[in-house]
């Protein structure tokens, strides 16, 4: 019995008792929802404002993602061209998104009336009529693209 205890003690000292790894916060990796494809319209996209902020931890979500908000001016916007709408959707899907995060992209047809999102997703009502599209990517993986979301 003494030999068994001695062998167990030696094994514990020389390798069976490996130190535990330091626990660190998980790294939040972003992903592109889909690869951008070749543009089909003459529209150009100018990011006027973008905000990336961490979401708070909660008991139900110990590894929160980020809120990613974009306001984008669509140069050469033509509501009659279906290719513009497809390009807007592809542009929104090309923005980074993390697994537990929330991504919102708003498109505007007037550069001077494309609001900054530094104060969050609330802007003056005067900008609503220039908002021609909105895209939402939710933490559960659902995606939604709307035309004229403020109407």
Instruction: Give the SS3 label for residue 45.
Output: strand
Global pTM value: 0.71
Q: Tell me the pLDDT tens digit for each residue of 20-52.
A: 444 334 333 444 444 445 668 889 999 999 998
Q: How far is CA 74 from CA 41, 106, 108, in A?
A: 11, 10, 6
Residue 51's nearest CA partner among 96, 112, 90 is: 96
Alpha-carbon span 134 to 113, nearest angstrom: 15
pLDDT at 41: 82
Domain boundaries, the chain: 46-147
CA–CA distance, 88 with 47 (Å, rounded to integer)? 12
- Please say whether the beta carbons of 140 and 103 come within 8 A: no
């Amino acid at each position: 019995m003494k030999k068994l205890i001695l062998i167990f003690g030696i094994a514990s000292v020389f390798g069976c008792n490996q130190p535990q790894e330091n626990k660190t916060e998980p790294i939040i990796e972003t992903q592109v929802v889909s690869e951008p494809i070749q543009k089909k319209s003459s529209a150009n996209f100018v990011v006027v404002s973008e905000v990336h902020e961490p979401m708070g931890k909660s008991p139900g979500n110990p590894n929160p993602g980020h809120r990613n908000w974009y306001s984008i001016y669509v140069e050469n916007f033509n509501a009659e061209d279906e290719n513009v709408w497809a390009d807007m959707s592809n542009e929104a899907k090309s923005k980074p998104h993390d697994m537990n995060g929330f991504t919102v992209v708003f498109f505007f047809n007037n550069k001077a009336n494309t609001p900054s999102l530094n104060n969050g997703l609330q802007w003056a009502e005067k900008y609503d009529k220039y908002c021609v599209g909105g895209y939402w990517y939710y933490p559960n993986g659902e995606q939604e693209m709307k035309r004229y979301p403020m109407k």
